[in-house]
């Protein structure tokens, strides 16, 4: 490990960036350095601009993926290398505003029935039931399930925050069946390696295979279940603030996008066409 890489890693650790973020940032900076075959210390705003054009035009990266590189380079040059630059010289890409894919309740059932493994079906049911990220559900511990208070404790979710979410009665029954079959002791969903939680990558792979088997036209990922959880709560009349807390969003603006995919209000809204005073054909 180079001194610069070590220093950047330590800077991220001091600021308590998540392990996943540290890994992504180091990877992006290494790719930037490899492209020019020079140390980042020898590169500047012009090289960064050329690299962004390369990622956009040649690699065809999405704006969200491109912005991870921008964040990594901003951290490197501002925090680790302490370059006195105007950060506008490393601009963010404007993100596309896309609506999340949401399953109907019937499609959720259809998808979950396609998951053959009891363990991974329980993982995905838990993700939908409580609106958890895949990294959160795989790192649940047996002690996090509080059947007396009917809550689940989510430790150190995104942003390093703890929170509580509801424990569904149906989920509790399923978890009890799962526990009798697998007898987990520490991690609720242990992985193939002893004393380690299930891999998020494996959950995504199982999810993808179930999607192919299910026959659904909508592409399903573990995050699709989280989107569906939030949208179904909103359609059932739950308020945005409560949904924000359950999802662990820092800002209610992140939660508000689900108002664009909730269809219950749309169904109850009358089109002005239906109110015209007469027929539109002779």
Instruction: Name the residues annotated as catalytic.
Output: 133, 158, 223, 226, 249, 258
**Number of CB atoms found within 10 A of residue 41's CB:** 14
Distance CA 169, CA 165 (A): 13
Distance CA 123, CA 140 (A): 10
Contact (Cβ atoms closer than 8 angstroms) between residue 73 and residue 48:
yes
Distance CA 126, CA 122 (A): 6
The first and second tokens of residue 50, run together, are 């050329």
Distance CA 157, CA 135 (A): 8
Distance CA 135, CA 199 (A): 8
């Amino acid at each position: 490990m180079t001194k610069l890489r070590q220093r950047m890693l330590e800077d991220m650790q001091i600021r308590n960036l998540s392990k996943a973020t540290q890994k992504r940032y180091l990877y992006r900076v290494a790719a930037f350095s490899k492209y020019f075959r020079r140390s980042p210390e020898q590169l500047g705003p012009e090289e960064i601009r050329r690299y962004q054009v390369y990622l956009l035009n040649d690699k065809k990266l999405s704006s969200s993926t491109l912005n991870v590189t921008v964040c990594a380079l901003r951290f490197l040059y501002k925090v680790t290398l302490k370059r006195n630059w105007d950060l506008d010289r490393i601009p963010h890409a404007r993100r596309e505003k896309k609506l999340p894919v949401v399953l109907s309740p019937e499609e959720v059932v259809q998808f979950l029935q396609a998951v053959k493994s009891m363990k991974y079906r329980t993982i995905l049911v838990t993700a939908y039931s409580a609106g958890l990220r895949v990294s959160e559900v795989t790192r649940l511990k047996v002690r996090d399930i509080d059947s007396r208070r009917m809550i689940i404790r989510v430790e150190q979710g995104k942003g390093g925050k703890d929170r509580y979410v509801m424990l569904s009665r149906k989920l509790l029954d399923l978890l009890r069946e799962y526990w009798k079959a697998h007898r987990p002791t520490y991690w609720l969903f242990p992985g193939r390696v002893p004393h380690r939680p299930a891999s998020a990558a494996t959950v995504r792979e199982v999810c993808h295979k179930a999607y192919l088997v299910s026959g659904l036209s909508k592409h399903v990922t573990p995050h699709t279940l989280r989107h569906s959880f939030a949208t179904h709560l909103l359609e059932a009349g739950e308020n945005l603030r409560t949904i924000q807390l359950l999802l662990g969003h820092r800002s209610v603006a992140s939660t508000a996008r689900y108002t664009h995919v909730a269809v219950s209000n749309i169904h109850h809204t009358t089109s002005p066409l239906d109110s015209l005073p007469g027929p539109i054909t002779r």
